[in-house]
Amino acid sequence: MYKNIALIYLNCERFKKTAKKVFFLSIQLSAIIMNNRENIKTLLIEKPLKLDCGKTINNYPIAYETYGKLNSNKDNAILIFHALTGDQFVTGINPITKKDGWWSYAVGPNKAIDTNKYFIICANVLGGCMGSFGPSHQNPETKKMFGTDFPVITINDMVNAQVNLLELFEIKKLFSVVGGSMGGMQVLQFVSNFPDKTKTAIPIACTSSHSAQNIAFNELGRQAIAADHNWVNGKYMSNNTVPDKGLAVARMAAHITYLSKKGLQEKFGRKLQERDDLKFGFDADFQIESYLRYQGSIFVDRFDANSYLYITRAMDYFDLVKQFNGNLSKAFINTKAKFFIISFTSDWLYPTQENKDIVIALNAIGANVGFVEIESDKGHDSFLLDVPDFLKALKSFLDKSYSEKNL
């Protein structure tokens, strides 16, 4: 089970040889890690990174995956940023979960993000649990897992860690940075931090800062985890327990916010779960109950509770407006990147208006920006699903931009 990944020790000391060297863990670490950790590519970053919290990290791993081929001009690379519970396995079969990659609808041969044409890079975020430096790693000082001793990280820290991948592949300028939800936040932060490192930028279904309601839902998830008897103040690994009930509740809460009221009603309504009538008990009478329980249960097999705390915290802390003293436009003043912003009609987590606010900020400085609101009943999750209008818009923008010689 993947939750046991939390027990894996990534011995960073072994890798102190050269900066930014690639390691294919499948060979080196197969003896000390689980078999299903095969094929996790990891870049060990020796160069110190000063985090927003004030602490400095170095010799830390960033796990990543690539798809397609980098061309000789090295001008066809797209850096994809994943959302809260995503990872680097964008498409194809995820070698850990054995399920489809989280963006299989959008990424692949001839798909919206065409792997026949583009070279795709995606990294597990800092704080994550798919190989990148996170709270399930060992604290070299205590020789125990970090748990909540791991430094609180931010979206800014995440992109500052990931930009090292460009040097690894000797890419001077990406063709695009793309991401939905928290991935979109990383897109915005990346362009702001590295204004000349991408030709285009596609933030999807995101926001420039978390609203009070967004923070509330994330806090609910964190409280659900902390309420779990097995969380043990984040030290569950040393305790040989897993706060899976709390994490499942957190996932259920989040999952409701990913779907629209209308979408839920159309898909589930009041349909009963394999029964002709109500059972007058607390089993899952309704399909929606069964569905939510299932979503919670499968999530705990692939995600680490402390990572959930850290990544939601990073999302709540994200405030690009505040970073630029209340003027979002200033975040983008130094970039010539061409933006394409996409929102969904039924997304109530990051509604169209919050996406439009980014468009407005870009327009205010005369940036090159396109925007589309896609009609969909599938809520915030629309960006992960088979929503043809969205996928067409994404493909059109990318392919048209790629064909423009002077971009």
Q: List contacts with its own copies (CB under 8 A).
A: 52-54, 148, 151-152, 209-213, 215-217, 219-220, 222-224, 226-230, 245-246, 248-249, 252-253, 256, 259, 261, 264-265, 267-270, 278, 280-282, 284-286, 288-289, 292-293, 296, 309, 313, 316-317, 319, 322, 348, 351
340 touches 200 (CB < 8 A): yes
Instruction: Give me the least distance between CB of 297 and its own copies, in Å please.
Output: 11
Instruction: Give me the least distance between CB of 232 and its own copies, in Å please.
Output: 11
Which of 304, 347, 377, 381 is catalytic? The answer is 347
Task: Tell me how crowded residue 94 is: count the other CB atoms within 10 A of its CB.
Answer: 20
Instruction: Give me the least distance between CB of 135 and its own copies, in Å please.
Output: 11
Name the residue nearer to its own copies (CB basis): 4 or 223: 223
Q: Which secondary structure element, helix H or strand E, spans residue 388, and what is its range?
A: helix 388-403
Half-sphere exposure of 246 (CA within 13 A, CB side): 25
CA distance 167 to 46: 13
156 touches 61 (CB < 8 A): no
Q: How far is CA 275 from CA 271, 272, 279, 324, 329, in A?
A: 9, 6, 8, 56, 55
Instruction: Give me the least distance between CB of 157 and its own copies, in Å please.
Output: 11
CA distance 396 to 200: 13
Instruction: Give me the least distance between CB of 314 and its own copies, in Å please.
Output: 11
312 touches 218 (CB < 8 A): yes
CA distance 255 to 293: 11
Catalytic, 208? Answer no
Name the residue nearer to its own copies (CB basis): 77 or 320: 320
Catalytic, 181? Answer yes
CA distance 91 to 67: 8
Which of 136, 181, 260, 382 is catalytic? The answer is 181
Name the residue nearer to its own copies (CB basis): 232 or 372: 232
Which of 210, 346, 380, 382 is catalytic? The answer is 380
- 46-50, long-range: CB within 8 Å, 24+ apart, which pairs? 46/16, 46/18, 46/19, 46/20, 47/19, 47/20, 47/164, 49/157, 49/160, 49/161
Task: Tell me how crowded residue 18 is: count the other CB atoms within 10 A of its CB.
Answer: 8
Instruction: Give me the least distance between CB of 129 and its own copies, in Å please.
Output: 17
Instruction: Give me the least distance between CB of 170 and its own copies, in Å please.
Output: 34
Name the residue nearer to its own copies (CB basis): 34 or 264: 264
Q: How many residues does the chain have?
A: 407
Catalytic, 380? Answer yes
| Dihedral sign from CA coordinates of 30, 33, 35, 36 | negative
Instruction: Give me the least distance between CB of 234 and its own copies, in Å please.
Output: 9
Name the residue nearer to its own copies (CB basis): 132 or 207: 207
108 touches 279 (CB < 8 A): no
Name the residue nearer to its own copies (CB basis): 119 or 258: 258
Q: 3-state DSSP call for residue 12?
A: helix
Name the residue nearer to its own copies (CB basis): 110 or 282: 282
CA distance 113 to 115: 6
* Chain centroid to CA 394: 18
Name the residue nearer to its own copies (CB basis): 30 or 265: 265
Catalytic positions, written as ranges:
181, 347, 380
